[in-house]
Chain A
Amino acid sequence: MTDLPTQRLDLKGVLSGSARTAAADDHTVGMSYLESLPRRLVTLYLPLGIIVVVLLFPFYWMALTAIKPDEQLLDLNTYNPFWTWNPTFKHIHKLLFGSYYPLWLWNTMYVAVCSTVLSIFASVLAAYAIVRLRYRGAQWVGGLIFLSYLVPPSILFIPLATVVFQYGLFDTPFALILTYPTILIPFSTWLLMGYFKTIPFELEECALIDGASRWQILTKIVLPLAIPGLISAFIFCFTLCWNEFIYALTFLTSVQNKTVPVAIVNEFVDGDVYRWGSLMAGALAGSLPLVILYAFFVEHYVSAMTGAVKE
């Protein structure tokens, strides 16, 4: 079994489904004619349908709750809970004009963009140095960076809180902007190393002979060729920042500085029995930016996700 030629993972094909691997190209029919429709219905469509419904139901429920009037939310017997005929924008209005929500969204966006840009900058340089400069010990540094990817925030947040306090960054956006890169740099360095490896050496050798410096090679040859990798890394880092919770919960205390996930959990959860509408509206509004981003860059997203596992 070991001598079978295994192709590299076909990342784009994962989602498009059209670009199958080379081996699959000349088997257009394959064995699918062996399967009859009723059989496929039971073995394929039914289980797939159930799984997809379960995976998507919470979002439907989130969206429905966000637009349901309060009395329908709590009275399950008079109204059919799975649908509403008189949607209301009360909860969303309350969210946008009766709370700090826009500010929290802005904080989240600001922190995510800043730390992503910082991390991509640092990881482009690091990945290029590890893959192409191959200084002494580069292999080891690559391994260490992979290991640091495996260090979880939940064992770092206590000492980091004291560090952030010592540096005087406590309760400022900088506390997050400077600590998120520790999660992002290992991941994006590892991802970009994979992309840089695929760029042929010859291009760089030509440029070196023509007198280009390493910096020129990086900015004029390597980076333009690695744009898909950069987009993947950028989107994935952005999502990770948006998703981060424990650092934001620990390092930020004042209401105006919070990010969306923390603010929703801490500020919206009170004893009010009618809180569900605005809570779900907040959750929905916090998820939408990422879902929209994802819709535009599905392929890059998947290649980032599988790329981290690939190497």
Chain B
Amino acid sequence: MADIALQPRTARRPIREASRWDLIKANRNYLGFWFMLPAMVFLVLFLAYPLGLGIWISFTDARIGRPGAFVGLENYEWLWGDSIFWLSVFNTLLYTSVASVIKFAIGLYLALLLNENMPFKAMLRALVLIPFIVPTVLSALAFWWIFDSQFSIISWSLKQMGLITDNINFLGDVTWARICVIFANIWRGVPFVAITLLAGLQTVSPSLYEAATLDGATSWQRFRFITYPLLTPIIAVVMTFSVLFTFTDFQLIWAMTRGGPVNATHLMATLSYQRAIIGGVLGEGAAISNAMIPFLLAAIMVSWFGLQRRKWQQGENND
């Protein structure tokens, strides 16, 4: 056995000069190119190219089945005078701002509660995340049924309690419909905010709170001067994601109201789907969805500065 081990396989191979091919094979840039290729093919073919194509389509009068000719800014000019488009912009901003603020408030509160020591802690944390796991459309359907105009369980309960006499027309009334979709969005978003903030909370050392308590800090002061500053970086990132995904939401609205009643819950995404795919006017639909880009860029800038600040706070030495 011993003499086999003494003769490694490579020893028999004569040592030769490194050929040009060997050098290329070990070159970082050459290897990097091949390693990046699959991901780049996908991202260029199905992300970068459509992104550019979308901007081009918005400058044409394309319809489904017809390529369309260049019409300049006509689609945008038309949208500028379209009251339904402006209503959808208003709805989107309302939906995003109200839902994000409440999601943040409840999410942070829930994270603080879950961070306490209590029995069944692990199980509770796992349960809380379930709304985030279940496909949005399917839970939106459950909400659709909960908010049904005749058989709503909420109307029934309120009637039993004697608070109302008639069923509330949840998804048929303009204000109620907005409240309902915002509620459903909050319901789905809170677990994400809570669990990610909880991960951030667990990195805060308890000794800070003990020291502050000895110095006579109230629980509000402990939150304001210890928890909040240490959480700021992660809050910035989580909220950017939350705002971004709320702003471009489509499926929740589509499953619950399809933009109704009288366009009161049309977001920009649902309106562009309705105009482009159902109405067949691709150019106009593309213009509506491109109108979201400036808002998204603003959100991305916030995210960028949030990340920068986080790096600076951590000292960022772990490559």
Contact = CB atoms under 8 A, between A and B. Distances in A.
A287 B135 contact: yes
A128 B31 CA distance: 11
Contacts of A145: 39, 43
A126 B35 contact: yes
Interface residues of B, number: 115
Interface string B274-300: 001100001001100110110010011
Given A160-B50, A302-B199, A17 B32 contact: no
Interface string B21-56: 000010011011101111110110111111101100
Nearest to A147: B300
A305 B195 contact: yes
A29 B237 CA distance: 32
A245 B300 CA distance: 24
Contacts of B208: 4
A73 B151 CA distance: 8
B176 interface: no
Contacts of A309: 196, 234, 237-238, 241
Interface in A1-58: 1-2, 4, 6-11, 13-18, 20-21, 23-24, 27, 30-32, 34, 40, 44-45, 47-48, 51-52, 54-56, 58
B198 A14 contact: yes
B229 A151 contact: no
Contacts of B191: 55
Given A30-B206, A47-B109, A291-B133, A125 B39 contact: yes
Contact of B126 (A1, A15, A20, A141): A15
Contacts of A11: 199
A246 B250 contact: yes
B237 to A, nearest CB: 5
Nearest to B311: A311
Contacts of A260: 135, 138
Given A133-B32, A147-B300, A291-B130, A58 B146 contact: yes
A4 B230 contact: yes
Interface stretch (A87-95, A174-182, A224-232): A174-182
Contact of B205 (A24, A65, A245): A24
Nearest to B244: A150
Interface string A76-111: 100001100000000000000000000000000000
B192 interface: yes
A291 B195 CA distance: 17
A139 B53 CA distance: 27
Contact of B134 (A16, A24, A30, A291): A291
A294 B145 CA distance: 25
Given A61-B146, A287-B134, A291-B130, A214 B39 contact: no
B50 A76 contact: no
B178 to A, nearest CB: 19
A74 interface: yes
B244 A302 contact: no
Nearest to B41: A122
Q: Chain A at the B interface: mostly helix, strand, loop or mixed?
A: helix
B151 A62 contact: no
Contacts of A219: none
B318 interface: yes
A9 B198 CA distance: 10
A148 interface: yes
Contacts, number: 333
B282 A158 contact: yes
Contacts of B7: none
Contacts of B139: 58-59, 62, 283, 287
A123 interface: yes
A279 interface: yes
Contacts of A74: 151
Among A6, A23, A284, A294, find the residue whose CB has the most chain B CB atoms closer than 10 A: A6
B54 A48 contact: no
9 shortest A-B CB distances, which residue pairs?
Answer: A135-B32, A129-B35, A152-B248, A154-B269, A122-B38, A126-B39, A159-B54, A245-B251, A159-B50
8 contacts: A44-B118, A55-B190, A122-B39, A153-B250, A179-B46, A182-B46, A245-B254, A305-B192
Interface of A: 1-2, 4, 6-11, 13-18, 20-21, 23-24, 27, 30-32, 34, 40, 44-45, 47-48, 51-52, 54-56, 58-59, 61-62, 65, 73-74, 76, 81-82, 118-119, 121-123, 125-126, 128-130, 133-136, 138, 141, 145, 147-148, 150-163, 178-179, 181-182, 185-186, 189, 197, 211, 213-214, 239, 242-243, 245-246, 249-250, 260-262, 264-265, 276, 279-280, 282-284, 286-287, 290-291, 294-295, 298, 301-302, 305-306, 308-310
Interface of B: 10, 25, 28-29, 31-33, 35-40, 42-43, 45-51, 53-54, 57, 62, 106, 109-110, 113-114, 116-118, 121-122, 124-139, 141-143, 145-146, 148, 151, 153, 156, 187, 190-192, 195-196, 198-200, 202-203, 205-210, 213, 229-230, 234, 237-238, 241, 244-245, 248-251, 254-255, 268-269, 272-273, 276-277, 282, 285-286, 289-290, 292-293, 296, 299-300, 303, 312-314, 318-319
Given A10-B203, A262-B137, 11 more contacts: A58-B187, A118-B42, A129-B32, A133-B31, A135-B36, A155-B51, A158-B286, A163-B49, A280-B142, A284-B138, A287-B135
